[in-house]
């Protein structure tokens, strides 16, 4: 075998959910030793300071990397191993050292440009409260200086001082390629999102259905919105619209769900976000059934799906389920967050429902499914038609 060790680079602590999503057991069954280099304390210190993940994986094959020296020493001490590094960190201002060390020790690595999700198309003129707030907190000179510095930091990724990836693994046509840049020998590997492995598991009868009392139900894809740990990342992509008043979110969503259930005469079941911790905050959904870790199974048997902008809509697409996108006044106040929801809805040729208005006005519910749009979504964000309908690592390891 060309490689005997798979080394994952991660920037958040390894959870049981991630362990399964990365198909670690599948790699082990192919003869790989699997190692995780955890760079969280170095790259995302705010994450671990403000969020305590549940169901962490512990073991001798997880190495905490606190600085560049730790990273260097790891590869120096493992010179004799045939390592395939799996880069889940990507090129940033503060990660150029990774690729320089890869070059020094001649480490083969691949970039995973997968789990693509639609980006918000910000077409608004931000003359809102958000824009004024931004102007108060920073001046134009600092912004220009920051962008110039960012450009300088990106330049080394386009030079020979680093080693380019052996492969770039992508899912759909709209995948977001990350740094470092491809080299002449870099292979483009068309695989799929990690969620597609779960879909294959479901088709092969490997997943057990949850036991619930509701025979007919609609699934709400919870995002743990006020407390989602991604808001604590060092470079957050989204502002938290409920940071100052988390309970306000649950007040709004519960009022909406109650009226929605009354209008549709169908109960709503909550598919809890994988990183949620509702076991420590019971009854946030006013007595509704809340199930964690069974999202695809719930969606498969659901009448329809309610969501803000969860990437789990891919499961709804697989099973041709109607999707309703939900926003609110407060979500719309944060342009990036609000635009993301509206853009998601627009991709499916729908308009998001403002929950605050739904409580006051008679807003019709669009429960249609456009099969052409669903097919396009799969090709753009999950997998292209021509990529194999195989498990993720079966595809990737055939190309490296």
Q: Which residues contact 168 (CB under 8 A, 6 or more apart)?
A: 110, 111, 113, 177, 182, 186, 187, 188, 189
pLDDT score for 153: 52
Rg of the chain, C-alpha, whole Å: 22
pLDDT score for 130: 41
pLDDT score for 93: 79
pLDDT tens, position by position, 65-89: 999 999 999 999 999 999 999 999 9
Better pLDDT: 284 or 131? 284
* Cβ contact 9:87 at 8 Å: yes
CATH number of 201-382: 3.40.50.2000
Cα-Cα-Cα-Cα dihedral of 329, 331, 336, 340, to 10°?
A: -100
C-alpha–C-alpha distance, residues 359 and 87, integer Å: 46
pLDDT score for 230: 74
| Mean per-residue pLDDT, 9-26 | 93
C-alpha–C-alpha distance, residues 190 and 398, integer Å: 11
pLDDT tens, position by position, 254-288: 999 999 999 999 999 999 999 898 988 889 999 99
pLDDT tens, position by position, 328-340: 999 898 777 888 8
Domain boundary assignment for the chain? 5-121+161-193+384-396, 201-382
C-alpha–C-alpha distance, residues 260 and 267, integer Å: 9
Q: Which residues contact 34 (CB under 8 A, 6 or more apart)?
A: 5, 6, 7, 8, 24, 27, 28, 61
The answer to whether the 5-121+161-193+384-396 and 201-382 domains have the same CATH topology is yes
pTM of the entire predicted model: 0.87
C-alpha–C-alpha distance, residues 53 and 17, integer Å: 11
What architecture is domain 5-121+161-193+384-396? 3-Layer(aba) Sandwich (3.40)
- The first and second tokens of residue 117, run together, are 């999700």
pLDDT score for 213: 84
In 3-state terms, what secondary structure has residue 267? strand
Better pLDDT: 157 or 100? 100
pLDDT score for 152: 55
pLDDT score for 127: 40
């Amino acid at each position: 075998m060309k490689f005997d060790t798979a080394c994952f680079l991660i920037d958040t602590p390894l959870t049981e959910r991630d362990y399964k999503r990365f198909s670690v057991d599948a790699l082990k069954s192919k003869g790989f030793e699997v190692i995780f280099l955890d760079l969280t304390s170095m790259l995302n210190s705010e994450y671990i300071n403000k969020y305590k993940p549940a169901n962490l994986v512990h073991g001798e094959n997880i190495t905490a990397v606190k600085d560049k020296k730790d990273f260097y020493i790891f590869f120096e001490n493992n010179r004799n191993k045939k390592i395939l590094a799996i880069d889940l960190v990507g090129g940033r201002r503060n990660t150029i050292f990774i690729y320089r060390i890869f070059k020094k020790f001649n480490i083969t690595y691949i970039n995973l440009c997968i789990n693509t999700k639609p980006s918000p198309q910000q077409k608004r003129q931000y003359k809102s409260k958000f824009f004024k707030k931004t102007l108060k907190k920073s001046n134009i000179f600092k912004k220009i200086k920051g962008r110039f510095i960012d450009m300088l930091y990106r330049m080394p990724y386009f030079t020979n001082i680093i080693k380019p990836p052996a492969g770039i693994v992508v899912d759909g046509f709209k995948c977001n390629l990350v740094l470092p840049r491809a080299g002449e020998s870099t292979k483009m590997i068309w695989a799929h999102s990690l969620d597609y492995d779960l879909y294959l598991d479901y088709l092969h009868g490997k997943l057990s259905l949850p036991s619930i009392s509701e025979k007919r139900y609609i699934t709400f894809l919870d995002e743990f919105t006020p407390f989602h740990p991604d808001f604590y990342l060092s470079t957050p992509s989204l502002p938290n619209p409920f940071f100052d008043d988390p309970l306000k979110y649950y007040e709004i969503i519960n009022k909406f769900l109650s009226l929605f259930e009354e209008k549709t005469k169908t109960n709503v079941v909550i598919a809890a976000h994988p990183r949620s911790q509702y076991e420590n905050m019971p009854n946030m959904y006013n007595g509704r059934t809340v199930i964690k870790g069974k999202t695809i199974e719930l969606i498969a048997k659901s009448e329809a799906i309610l969501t803000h902008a969860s990437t789990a809509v891919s499961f709804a697409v697989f099973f041709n389920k109607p999707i309703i996108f939900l926003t609110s006044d407060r979500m719309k106040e944060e342009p990036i967050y609000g635009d993301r929801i509206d853009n998601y809805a627009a991709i499916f040729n729908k308009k998001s429902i403002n929950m605050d208005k739904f409580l006051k006005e008679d807003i019709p519910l669009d429960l249609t499914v456009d099969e052409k749009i669903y097919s396009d979504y799969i090709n753009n964000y999950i997998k292209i038609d021509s990529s194999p309908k195989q498990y993720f690592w079966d595809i990737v390891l055939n190309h490296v």
